[in-house]
Amino acid sequence: QQSKAAAAYQRLIEKGYKEGVSTFIETVDARTQLTNAQLLVSVQQFKLLSALAVLEREQATYPLQP
């Protein structure tokens, strides 16, 4: 959800920049926020899959279904 909000904000700021309403710094900030949100999603997915792998190893069950 944070990623979707950051993407919407980035689109809004980019549009504003093209229309001369937003500054270049605001566009860079919006892109940074979007990148950080996407990175957070990736890190959380990695943590989930790592936890599932540990659980599978501990239970010795197959196959792993995320």
Q: What is the 3-state secondary structure (H, E, C) of 2-66?
A: HHHHHHHHHHHHHHHHHCCCCCHHHHHHHHHHHHHHHHHHHHHHHHHHHHHHHHHHHHCCCCCCC
| Overall average pLDDT of the 19-37 stretch | 96
Is the pLDDT at 62 greater than 70? The verdict is no
Upstream peptide bond of 63 is cis (omega within 30 degrees of 0) = yes
Q: For residues 12 and 29, give the distance between their C-alpha atoms in angstroms, rounded to a whole number.
A: 12
pTM, two decimals, is 0.74
Where do the structural domains in the chain lie, given as residue ranges? Answer: 2-59
Mean pLDDT of 34-62: 90
As a whole number, the mean pLDDT across the chain is 91
Whether residue 63 is predicted with pLDDT greater than 80 in this model: the reply is: no
Backbone angles phi, psi at 46, to 5 degrees: -60, -45
Task: Examine the pLDDT at 2 and tell me if it is beyond 90.
Answer: no
Residue 60 pLDDT level (bands cut at 50, 70, 90): confident
